[in-house]
Amino acid sequence: MTVTRRDALRNLFIWLAGSPLLRGQQEIQYTPERIPLMDDLVNVLEFEPVSKTKIPKTAYDFVNGGVDSEWTLRRNREAFNWITLRPRVLANEKQLDLSCELFGTKIEMPILVAPTGTQGLSHPEGELAMVRGAGAAKTIDCVSSNTNYTIDKIGDAATFPIWFQLYPGPDPAGTRERVERAIAAGAKVIALTVDTPYNSHRERLLRDRVAQEVPPGGATPNLVERPGRRRAVPTTPNRYRLTRRFTAELGWSFVDELCSYAKVPVLTKGILTPEDAKRSIEHGAAGVIVSNHGARYLDTVPSTIEVLPEIVDAVGGKGTVLVDSGFRRGTDILKALAIGAKAVLVGRPPLWGLGAYGQAGVTRVLELLQTELALAMGLAGCPTLASINRSLVHIEPQKSRHAGCRPRAFF
């Protein structure tokens, strides 16, 4: 059979159109007139281009951007490639069970919604749709301090237990009030974010001519301070803007103080070293969230999956270790569970679901991850979370890793 030049070109085009490489790299572009049905999307990455079509560019850049050269943003994904799975066969499995208990709440999957601020930028119903979407998937939504709706309204909308993420303010009484209000609204855990002493350098937003960390539309009623209280301080070593937050002044005694009055477990969020993980537990935290904030603060820090083993070992069962940053696939989650995380949080994927299809999109994203994790567990011979352990993963030694995380061509 002869293949004409025309046939060859046609075949090449068909191959390119269906290439998983292209899909994986988010090259799909939709138009407002041509949005796919939610049921046609087969993984969570496919929600991103849909949300891009539906929300303003500044909101999209706020959600998806990292900082500086976005080196850590790329590494958060790439580092999963350095870990391979070692499946076991003939596991005598009768039923898959992904449920677990976290601080007294039974959840259907070890996957939680990470706190993400100002969800109103992605959808008019913002945090209300997010909390309902997470509840429908029977998992926990960790509500940010920076929300478009008050914590009381979010608590009222919740159909499942919630957690609260705390950015402390300069007034200790005001911070305590905020914690107590969150607990009254239903928060079962306080996650104290510890990795944001300064506002970060979000170049995508700066290119959009947005000078703040959050584009317009990001009201934060939970953070409204009484008159006379200090706001973040612009410091000016030169003509460029550098904004110091109150949290820069905090030390470990704040963890002691918070643990002394919070009536629920406290976690530190933003831990990247075993030293700080151990210190968190020594100062009363019930556990840590290993996080680089989705690569949104200090660039060139490692991905969280890389530092997870040493942090799990350092905590040594004295506290609960959770992890976030870059989790997009069931196999990513399985790797973290195998290393010793109790559960994983996802930030951008539920926001893509929210931006693309509202509350239903949030639930769908969580259910897709749940299904992928279930399948990965089944194929790896691990029917329950208890049967997952470190023997399931092989972590490539550093020297055999191919050179990744190159800066983009124009840097």
Ranges within 175-234 binding ligand FMN (CB under 6 A):
193
In sequence order, which residues have a C-beta less than 8 Å from that of residue 282 and are 6 or more positions away? none
Handedness of CA 19, 25, 31, 37 (dihedral sign): positive
Which residue of this chain has its Cβ atom nearest to ligand FMN in the complex? 347
Core vs surface per residue 157-173: b (16+ CB within 10 A) or e: bbebbbbbbbbbbbbee
Residues 100, 138: contact at Cβ < 8 Å? no
Residues 324, 289: contact at Cβ < 8 Å? yes
Helices (H), 262-344: 274-282, 304-315, 330-339
- The candidate with the shortest Cα–Cα distance to 75, out of 385, 325, 336, 273, is 325
Q: Which is nearer to ligand FMN, 63 or 67 (CB)?
A: 63
Measured CA to CA, the distance from residue 26 to residue 123 in angstroms comes to: 21
User: Does residue 63 touch ligand FMN according to CB under 6 A?
Assistant: yes
User: Does residue 115 touch ligand FMN according to CB under 6 A?
Assistant: yes
How is residue 57 written in tokens?
């560019």
Smallest distance, ligand FMN to C-beta of residue 172, A: 20
Measured CA to CA, the distance from residue 358 to residue 41 in angstroms comes to: 15
Task: Find the binder of ligand FMN among 135, 326, 355, 358 (CB under 6 A).
Answer: 326
Q: Which is nearer to ligand FMN, 138 or 296 (CB)?
A: 296
Residues 383, 375: contact at Cβ < 8 Å? no
Smallest distance, ligand FMN to C-beta of residue 11, A: 36
Of residues 201, 283, 293, 394, which has the active-site annotation?
A: 293
User: Does residue 116 touch ligand FMN according to CB under 6 A?
Assistant: yes
User: Does residue 354 touch ligand FMN according to CB under 6 A?
Assistant: no
Task: Find the binder of ligand FMN among 125, 324, 367, 372 (CB under 6 A).
Answer: 324
User: Does residue 294 touch ligand FMN according to CB under 6 A?
Assistant: yes
Task: Find the binder of ligand FMN among 75, 132, 269, 329 (CB under 6 A).
Answer: 269
Q: Decide if 201 is catalytic.
A: no
Which listed range, 5-13, 333-341, 345-353, 371-379, lies at the site for ligand FMN (CB under 6 A)? Answer: 345-353
User: Does residue 144 touch ligand FMN according to CB under 6 A?
Assistant: yes
- The candidate with the shortest Cα–Cα distance to 112, out of 338, 359, 362, 331, is 362
User: Does residue 126 touch ligand FMN according to CB under 6 A?
Assistant: no
Where on the chain is the footprint of ligand FMN (CB under 6 A)?
62-63, 76, 114-117, 144, 146, 165, 193, 269, 291, 293-294, 296, 324-327, 346-348
Q: Any idea which residues carry the catalytic annotation?
A: 293
